[in-house]
Structure 1
């Protein structure tokens, strides 16, 4: 089965290891822990009015959703393969844009999955309005995307370099 570039999530080996460790924890020790919480709450009696039971079940649901998300993400990940340094915007690139062609009003961000988002670096997903507008464009080209208020914004791509962490 071949995949299009849009379905692939580019991850560094470190990011892959971190997400894999989270998945292993959630599908192993954390699953056992939540099962014990549910069983303990169940032993308290009437489940209709048992806040601890309902909280544990909700936590279990969130945890299982995260397990499914991580499993899918890691199945579609390309690890350690940085994109080509060819000036074309794609996942795994550090991108610098200028808003409305104003080279004093710029933004630099990593084009990557939301899973890769961190506090150190601005991250935009290829599926976001800005990400999808610039994805596949070359340095020097313009792109237009829709803002949440329905207005259009235009940007010029100033730089696109493979991200190294």
Structure 2
């Protein structure tokens, strides 16, 4: 397991649509292990392979060490509630800046585990937010694209000041 370098906004890789995983092997498990170590070191709660420049549909979420890591390979939202919720979001690729994003409150996601077995899971609250946020990243949608233009511009200016 290794901590990998994380792409930083505005790296073009963060706008890259990721390819589906079709080989479930030791290399995939090693990638998932590296993602877990990387998100812990960041620190953060969720990361995609795209965050480290590997453009495959792999997500690792660890809300707490007690609950352990969740792995989502080729995740796809099957249902999203009409009811929405606001939650503060940020990214390991843009540390130090956050803002409120509105997303569906509950979802059902279909995904494969690291062995290729398919699953469906219902999620709500913070887990639902995290899954949606990371699937957006797999689709080449960086989280700030969910903000109004004005909020996005202000946030990018804050980010630029932090980087200087």
Structure (1 or 2) with the greater helix fraction = 1
Structure (1 or 2) with the greater strand fraction = 2
- Measured against the shorter chain, the TM-score band is under 0.3
- Using structure 2 for the length normalisation, give the TM-score: 0.26
Max Rg structure: 1
- Using structure 1 for the length normalisation, give the TM-score: 0.25
